[in-house]
Homo-oligomer: A and B are copies of this chain.
């Protein structure tokens, strides 16, 4: 019997909590016997997209590459957990439509003000100062999912509660055995 892979696609603002959630859920999935790989936006940029910038075209290319790799892994039984902002709905939907394994979109619905107040990498500060162009939420749009499989609100729920709810959803879909 071979494992069922799938894609957990987190989307939301910088600072919304995507990487925190990805890093919190991955060990839980591994404990359930699932091979799990986190595709972090920054790591993928370094290894697959060096030279690309943050224009819409370059962002789209970067997100498509994450989708390509996530699908390669997922169709081979791995859980791909992605944590890139992925601001454009059309690209996310394109990746969903091409996915050869279940695609679970998780909208990390953190208000911009809260995400900006966290500013874990100091990027909002730079974007407000005009030192970064095309910054999602400041000078570039974010298009929320219209029908995400799951929405988590880190303003109202702790990380553990969000993770528990995501795991319950996966179990209800029969994806974690």
A residues near B (Cβ < 8 Å) are 2, 35, 37, 47-48, 50, 61, 64-65, 68-69, 72-73, 76-78
CA of A117 to CA of B67 in the docked complex: distance in angstroms?
38
* Closest B residue to A61 using CB positions: B50
Q: Nearest Cβ distance between residue A91 and chain B, in whole angstroms?
A: 14
Q: A48-B48, A50-B61, A61-B50 are in contact. Are A37 and B76 (CB under 8 A)?
A: yes
23 residue pairs bridging A and B, Cβ less than 8 Å apart: A2-B35, A35-B76, A35-B77, A37-B72, A47-B64, A47-B65, A47-B68, A48-B48, A48-B65, A48-B68, A48-B69, A50-B61, A69-B69, A69-B72, A72-B72, A72-B73, A73-B73, A73-B78, A76-B76, A76-B77, A76-B78, A77-B78, A78-B78
* Closest B residue to A35 using CB positions: B76
Q: Nearest Cβ distance between residue A75 and chain B, in whole angstroms?
A: 8
Q: Nearest Cβ distance between residue A14 and chain B, in whole angstroms?
A: 24
Chain B residues in 8 Å Cβ range of A48: 48, 65, 68-69
Max chain B C-beta neighbours (<10 A), residue from A35, A50, A61: A35
Chain B residues in 8 Å Cβ range of A47: 64-65, 68
Chain B residues in 8 Å Cβ range of A61: 50
Q: Nearest Cβ distance between residue A113 and chain B, in whole angstroms?
A: 36
Chain B residues in 8 Å Cβ range of A64: 47
Chain B residues in 8 Å Cβ range of A77: 35, 76-78
* Closest B residue to A69 using CB positions: B69
CA of A2 to CA of B73 in the docked complex: distance in angstroms?
15
Chain B residues in 8 Å Cβ range of A72: 37, 69, 72-73
